[in-house]
């Protein structure tokens, strides 16, 4: 049997206004880390899995351990698709451009 490694991407927006919401956020984040997920960006965690059927097991686990409020999206992509991701690092202080407008219009 041929194995194709995949990545499960867990993206979430959870409210953190009340103390209970903050606690639920922390517990969900700890659950992800305990289950082998790593932070890719704020509120985006990834986990490598040996194949899609192994990855699907995490869908149910995440659903069971999700907070009562908020949105969670799960996506499974191949390792090749993950490797093709573009990574743009922005330092907005140095990349500011001055835009000048020309009053002349040529038709």
26 backbone φψ class: left, alpha, beta (φ>0; ψ -120 to 50): alpha
Q: Does 1 map to a domain? A: no
Q: Does 77 map to a domain? A: yes
Domains of the chain: total: 1
Q: Does 93 map to a domain? A: no
pLDDT one-digit tens code per residue, 70-87: 999 999 999 999 999 998
d(CA 1, CA 52): 13
Question: What pTM, to 2 d.p., does this model score?
Answer: 0.79
Contact (Cβ atoms closer than 8 angstroms) between residue 42 and residue 86: no
Structural domain span for residue 35: 6-83
Q: Could you tell me the CATH number of the domain that includes residue 42?
A: 3.30.70.240
Q: Which two tokens stand for residue 13?
A: 């927006």
pLDDT one-digit tens code per residue, 13-70: 999 999 999 999 999 999 999 999 999 999 999 999 999 999 999 999 999 999 999 9
């Amino acid at each position: 049997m041929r194995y194709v490694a995949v990545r499960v991407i867990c993206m979430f927006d959870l409210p953190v206004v009340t103390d209970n919401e903050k606690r639920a956020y922390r517990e969900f984040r700890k659950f992800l880390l305990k289950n082998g997920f790593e932070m890719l960006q704020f509120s985006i965690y990834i986990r490598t899995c040996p194949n899609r059927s192994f990855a699907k097991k995490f869908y149910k686990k995440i659903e069971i351990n999700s907070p009562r409020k908020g949105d969670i999206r799960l996506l499974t992509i191949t390792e090749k698709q993950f490797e093709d991701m573009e990574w743009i690092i922005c330092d907005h202080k140095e990349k500011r451009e001055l835009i000048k407008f020309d009053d002349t219009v040529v038709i």
